Structure 1
Amino acid sequence: MSLRGLDLIPEHMHSSITLYVEQGIEPGRFLMLMLEHRIYEAAGMADAENLQALPNWIIFMHNYIPAACHGSPVVVQAWMKSRRKMRNSA
């Protein structure tokens, strides 16, 4: 899978979001909060580039990554678990 829409978000975040979506690898705190839809908390953790890109992050997540991989802490944990199982069975 090759993620589309990466040009919307800061370049230094491309590998983290790709590893999370494709392999279920747990991202850093900012991205975890974004994936859990905890936007206010994520804004408080964001570096300058990610803070400026918050609207683009929302567009990116809504349009370019599977809905099943973001939305709440439970959904995010389930995604990581399912992808971990896929990695282990390969």
Structure 2
Amino acid sequence: MSSTTLSRWLRPEVYPLFLAVGTAVGICGMQLIRNISTNPEVRVTKENRAAGILENFEEGEKYAQHGLRKFLRNKSPEIMPTVNDFFSKPN
């Protein structure tokens, strides 16, 4: 890379852009790896593909009800519930 290309793209103004794009790529990669490694409907090897459709409901339920979903199950669907309560409920 030439010095003009480096000076054009490695300025402090573009760091948030790199951070946002890097975060998005990381989330997509994490989801791809999760689907390939743990999804019961995805079969990568030839032996597993030859098995056909399996009636394994426990494995599907375990995949669908992952740890993050279990953690958020009983939480309020608000980003800042304390702030919302402060501004919406009278004293």
State the TM bucket, normalised to the shorter chain.
under 0.3
Which one has the largest radius of gyration?
2
**Which one scores higher on RCO, CA 8 angstroms, separation ≥ 6?**
1
TM-score (norm 2): 0.27
What is the TM-score of this pair, normalised by structure 1? 0.27
